[in-house]
Amino acid sequence: MDVVLPCLDEARALPWVLGRIPAGWRAVVVDNGSRDGSARIAADLGATVVAEPRRGFGAACHAGLLAADAEFVCFLDCDGSLDPAQLPRVVDPVLAGTADLVLGRRRPVSFGAWPPHARLANLVLARRLRAVTGADLHDLGPMRAARRERLLALGLGDRRSGYPLEAVLSASAAGMRIAEVPVDYRPRAGRSKVTGTVRGTRQAVRDMRRVLAAPPPTLLLITKAPQPGRSKTRLTPAFTPEQAADLAGAALADTLAALALVPAGRRLLVLDGEPGRWLPPGWEVVPQCGGGLDRRIAAAFAHAARLAPRAPALLVGSDTPQLDPAALAAPLSATERPGADAWFGPAEDGGFWALGLARPDARLAERLLHGVPMSTAETGRRVRERLAAHGLVVRELPALLDVDGPDDAARVAALAPGTRFAARLREYAPAPGPAR
């Protein structure tokens, strides 16, 4: 178990805090520019020390998350206001599988532990959180626990006071079960950098309002229902039509699983065919319209615009089972989103694996896509030209390899050996052959 402790000038509290970390757990102290020797004290006491020069509570928390390597990660303020010995009660529901993110609900044990202005701001925020997430939350507490991979997949972008709130909102939008347990709250050692002053509290409220104001994105997955003779036909004759459809189904399952980890307000499956048992809960099925792929993609954006006109919409296909959820979540986060009009994910073959619009609009989608030849080496370039012609600010997503032919399949499986697609490919294990 790793415990991330963001630290800025906490020399007075560190010996007590680190001395009460549960036995066998690793303390990861993230020094955020301390001038009082905190980093040296932490190292002398046996903690793993990480330097994060960017000032900000979120910057320190995220640096610790990246430095952690345990399956389960806890977060804890380093100021002595919370007792590390109570961490097991926070992580236990995650270990038991009854919750995915657990927050410690602070219970003051002495007078002066929680300044009135900070407590009032927390009450207002908790009420808003309950309304947005539906979780029975009463405190945005700094003691929390979750699986490290689930937190990384959220692509959290805030690096200041909005980080704890973004984590909760994003976790809820990604379908994570959120719970809270009571923990003791005592006066901190020294003055708080946030809640210790009215000015600090106001800054935190501004950061959090920015996070709250950003609606979660709409995710669109456009695909065919896996069916022999219609799915992944370029994998034959190296594979039989049944095997090609099975591989298509595995790639689709990987993509659905990855997108399920990305925070979203809605998830729309834009489907050619009929849904089957392979479709997990939480997806709305939208039949593809007629016409070429250019018109079907444009229509998908139009549908997203009707459902959630204020939310950005991002569309992907099912040809990239190696997709990393954070590659989508991070650019769409509340702090990274401002200034972007569109997102473009280039494919190695000259096409694109992802396309997003910050303000989805039916007419804009038509102008961007109608008449663009699809599935060619020029497709990506043509879409880029239209994005530029409309004066849109485009944020680049990582370039990925589409699974088209057998050689592509082998490369993708090597890049992501733990996917369903790679496992299915290993079962069939054909000799690489040319695409038909």
Residues forming a β-bridge with 345: 354
**Positions in the chain whose pLDDT score sits under 50:** 431-433, 435-436
Total tally of structural domains belonging to the chain: 2
What is the reported pTM? Answer: 0.88
Same domain, residue pair 204 and 279: no
Same domain, residue pair 68 and 105: yes
pLDDT of residue 213: 85
DSSP state of 312: -
Same domain, residue pair 226 and 365: yes
CATH number at residue 74: 3.90.550.10
Same domain, residue pair 267 and 396: yes
What domain range includes position 89?
Answer: 2-212
Same domain, residue pair 203 and 232: no
Q: Residue 234 contacts by C-beta under 8 Å, 6 or more apart in sequence?
A: 404, 405, 435, 436
pLDDT of residue 431: 46
The distance between the two most distant Cα atoms of the chain, rounded to a whole number of Å, is: 76
Question: In 3-state terms, what secondary structure has residue 197?
Answer: coil
Tens of pLDDT along 111-146? Answer: 767 777 777 778 888 888 898 899 999 998 899 999
pLDDT of residue 212: 85
Nearest residue to 12 via CA among 31, 36, 35 = 36
Same domain, residue pair 321 and 392: yes
pLDDT of residue 197: 55
Question: What is the rounded CA–CA span in Å between residue 386 and residue 132?
Answer: 37
pLDDT of residue 191: 60
pLDDT of residue 111: 74
How distant, in Å, are the alpha carbons of 121, 252, 255, 383 from that of 304? Answer: 35, 21, 19, 19
Structural element, H or E, at residue 285? strand 284-287
Tens of pLDDT along 258-276? Answer: 999 999 999 999 999 999 9
